[in-house]
């Protein structure tokens, strides 16, 4: 238990620093650079979200196969061979993209696409090493890489702003420099992986084929998951322009910042669950769920001071910040999906059902976006559809997982829908003080209903033998 708590501390520390960096970019950068420049910066962030598709599930397969193993017992010969082959493959992909961009794109779009390709090459290779560290519970080393990356990035951004450089290109270059240096660092930390010998071509290809076969379902599922909101964001860019896209992205980034801490927990949880006796998974799911939902609902309280501050701090973005009441709560459903549904589906090797869940939600997202663009053309409806679709995905995925484990959570799901509904419509229709008082009353009622279950879950978790 002490090791698990220590791993949680490492990941939370690294993600806290990442949170501070996002806070800097979210609060300071849009205050200094123009709305158009901020829009292009957010466009780069948007594009880089999807570069993981170009490893074809190769490293996802490694992630699933090696989860829960000891680092010293890894097959160094095979991993060294795969790292070399994977790096060469990513280089070919990057070169082909750069050649295409040189022919078809110029100006700001061309620059952003070129930088996205550089990001693709650096982060996909780095992610392979990070997955190995996660799989083998070397969370301290994993956290060190993330902290190093963010420190380098924040130093570059602060220096650039200090000397008066206010172009979005500097933000992008700073990010790429941090990724490059952290790649060198993770290679050094994982240098034992290069101690093996290079295996024969046929053996490597068979292992690569196996990894892609296993990992492609998880890759497509994750890709479809990111596209659920991505399709709506692209629809905003297409229908309302880059400036509106940047403003909405600012609002989304506020909610996404809270997701960093959920991600921190899930990084530790997956390799841990792979080692747990399957008979304990049901109880673990219930206990994690009880604690998670209380924490997430408590985090919604931060909306009220944040909304007041953001409107005063960034008046140029006021027309987009009104959607914070729709978009801020998405971390509730994203957090529940990432920590519970995603993690337990991977543990139970339900990648196919994870894929189906995300694909169904993606299809709904595409239909809603197309209807909005070409028929309704209403930005309010577009923003509300984000939380509705994510709520649908989270609920569908959770019902699939709990059905597999014979757990009944329908009453909890209905209660959570009611709380979120009251929050969203309260913050949209009432002033901040009235909405805050209403939500406090709702939270008190929730605590009365759930407190004994939460306490029971807490005491079971601290006593259980992992």
Same domain, 161 and 304: no
Q: Is the pLDDT of residue 24 over 80?
A: no
Which pLDDT belongs to residue 232? 85
Please report the pLDDT score of residue 224 as a whole number. 84
Do 51 and 112 belong together in one domain? yes
Instruction: Please report which confidence band the pLDDT of residue 139 belongs to, taking 50, 70 and 90 as the band edges.
Output: confident
Please tell me whether residues 277 and 128 are part of one structural domain.
no
Burial (CB count <10 Å: 0-12, 13-18, 19+), residue 189: middle
In a domain, 443, yes or no: yes
Contact 53, 216 (CB under 8 A): no
Tokens of 14: 């690294």
CA-to-CA distance for 268 and 2, rounded, in angstroms?
Answer: 13
The answer on 184 and 117 residing in a single domain is yes
The verdict on 39 and 188 lying in the same domain is: yes
Mean pLDDT of the chain: 83
Report the domain count for the chain.
Answer: 2
Residue 408, domain extent: 228-466
**In terms of domains, do 342 and 379 share one?**
yes
- Does 437 reside within a domain? yes
Question: What was the pLDDT predicted at 176?
Answer: 95
**pLDDT confidence bin for 360, thresholds 50/70/90:** very high
Are both 194 and 47 inside the same structural domain? yes
Read off the pLDDT of residues 254-281 as tens digits, 9 standing for 90 and up.
Answer: 767 666 666 666 666 666 666 666 667 7
Q: pLDDT by residue (tens digit) across 166-197?
A: 788 888 999 999 999 999 999 999 998 888 78
Q: Report residue 83 CA to chain centroid gap.
A: 24
pLDDT surpassing 60 at residue 3: no
Q: Is residue 318 part of a domain?
A: yes
Contact indicator for 368, 389 with CB cutoff of 8 Å: yes
159 in the same domain as 117? yes
143 and 278 share one domain: no
- With contact defined as beta carbons under 8 Å apart, do 424 and 329 qualify? yes
Instruction: Please indicate, yes or no, whether residues 322 and 464 belong to a single structural domain of this protein.
Output: yes
**Residue 217 placed within a domain:** no
Query: Quick one: CA dihedral 337, 343, 346, 350, positive or negative?
Result: negative
Q: What is the pLDDT of residue 364?
A: 93
The residue from 153, 183, 199 where one domain ends is 199
| 209 is a domain residue | no
Asked if the structure places residue 348 within a domain, the reply is: yes
Q: Does residue 374 lie within any of the structural domains?
A: yes
SS3 430: coil
One domain for residues 194 and 337: no
Query: Quick one: 263 and 306 in the same domain?
Result: yes
Residues 40, 295: Cα–Cα separation, whole Å? 34
Predicted pLDDT at 180? 96
In-domain check, residue 208: no
Average pLDDT estimate for 50-75: 84
Residue 1 predicted with pLDDT over 60 = no
Q: Which of 400, 394, 66 is nearest to 214 (CA)?
A: 66
Instruction: Identify the weakest region by mean pLDDT among 14-23, 122-131, 227-236, 312-321.
Output: 14-23
């Amino acid at each position: 238990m002490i090791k698990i708590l220590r791993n949680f501390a490492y990941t939370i520390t690294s993600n806290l620093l990442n949170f501070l960096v996002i806070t800097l970019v979210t609060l300071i950068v849009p205050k200094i650079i123009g709305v158009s420049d901020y829009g292009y910066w957010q466009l780069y962030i948007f594009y880089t979200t999807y570069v993981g598709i170009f490893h074809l599930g190769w490293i996802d397969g490694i992630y699933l196969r090696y989860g829960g193993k000891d680092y010293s017992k890894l097959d160094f010969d095979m991993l060294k061979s795969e790292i070399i082959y994977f790096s060469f493959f990513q280089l070919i992909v990057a070169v082909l993209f750069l050649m295409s961009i040189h022919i078809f794109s110029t100006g700001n779009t061309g620059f952003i696409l070129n930088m996205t390709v550089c990001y693709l090459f650096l982060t996909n290779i780095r992610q392979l090493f990070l997955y190995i560290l996660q799989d083998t519970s070397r969370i301290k080393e994993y956290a060190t890489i993330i902290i190093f990356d963010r420190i380098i990035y924040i130093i570059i951004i602060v220096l650039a702003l200090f000397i008066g450089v206010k172009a979005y290109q500097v933000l992008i270059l700073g990010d790429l420099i941090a990724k490059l240096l952290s790649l060198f660092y993770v290679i050094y930390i994982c240098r034992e992986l290069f101690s093996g010998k290079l295996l024969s071509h046929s053996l490597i290809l068979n292992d690569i084929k196996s990894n892609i076969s296993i990992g492609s379902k998880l890759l497509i599922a994750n890709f479809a998951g990111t596209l659920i909101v991505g399709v709506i964001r692209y629809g905003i860019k297409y229908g309302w322009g880059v400036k509106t896209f940047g403003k909405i992205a600012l609002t989304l980034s506020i909610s996404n910042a809270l997701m960093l801490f959920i991600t921190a927990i899930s990084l530790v949880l997956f390799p841990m669950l792979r080692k747990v006796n399957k008979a304990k998974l049901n109880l673990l799911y219930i206990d994690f769920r009880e604690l998670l939902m209380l924490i997430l609902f408590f985090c919604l309280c931060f909306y009220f001071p944040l909304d007041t501050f953001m409107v005063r701090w960034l008046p140029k973005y006021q027309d987009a910040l009104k959607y914070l009441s729709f978009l801020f709560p998405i971390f509730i459903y994203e957090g529940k999906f990432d920590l519970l549904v995603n993690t337990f589906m991977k543990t139970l090797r339900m990648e196919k059902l994870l894929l189906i869940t995300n694909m169904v939600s993606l299809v709904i997202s595409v239909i809603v976006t197309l209807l909005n663009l070409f028929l309704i053309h209403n930005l309010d409806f577009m923003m509300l559809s984000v939380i509705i679709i994510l709520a649908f995905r989270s609920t569908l995925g959770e019902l699939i997982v709990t059905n597999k484990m014979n757990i009944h959570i329908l009453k909890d799901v209905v209660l959570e829908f009611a709380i979120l509904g009251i929050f969203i419509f309260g913050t949209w229709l009432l002033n901040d003080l009235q909405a805050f008082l209403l939500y406090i009353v709702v939270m008190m009622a929730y605590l009365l209903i759930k407190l004994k279950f939460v306490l029971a879950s807490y005491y079971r978790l601290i006593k259980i033998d992992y």
